[in-house]
Amino acid sequence: MMGAAAEPHEPDEPAAEDADAATDADAARDHFDRHGEMDPLMLELLVCPLTKKPLEYDPETNELISDHAGLAYPVRGGVPILLPSEARSLKEENL
């Protein structure tokens, strides 16, 4: 008794999560115009993860500033990094 011929194995496609992550990163970069300014609508939606207060974008340092927390969150590749562990303390500047 002969078995059915095996179908050719096709290479695995990239995981859907990888494609979604790339799409999310591209979308985040789109919130900056060609002059590096943050989209006002995007800025209205972002808040400090610690204080839940609005953030201000500083184009000179490419950071989102939380005056209430005294922290500056970096923006890397157009993606805001809203992790307190990644933020720069603004209190050091005032010493």
CATH code of the domain containing 86: 2.20.25.10
- Predicted confidence (pLDDT) per residue in 35-58, tens digit: 566 788 889 999 999 999 999 999
Which of 59, 54, 56 has the alpha carbon at shortest distance from 33? 59
Rounded to whole angstroms, the Cα distance separating 26 from 17 reads 14
**Domain enclosing residue 35, as ranges:** 17-94
pLDDT band at 34 (very low <50, low <70, confident <90, very high): very low
Domain count, the chain: 1
Question: Which pTM value belongs to this model?
Answer: 0.63
Strands 71-76 and 79-80: antiparallel
Residue 28 has pLDDT above 70, yes or no: no
Establish if 11 belongs to a structural domain. no
Establish if 68 belongs to a structural domain. yes
Q: What is the largest CA-CA distance in the chain?
A: 85
Between 38 and 71, where is the model more confident? 71
Establish if 1 belongs to a structural domain. no
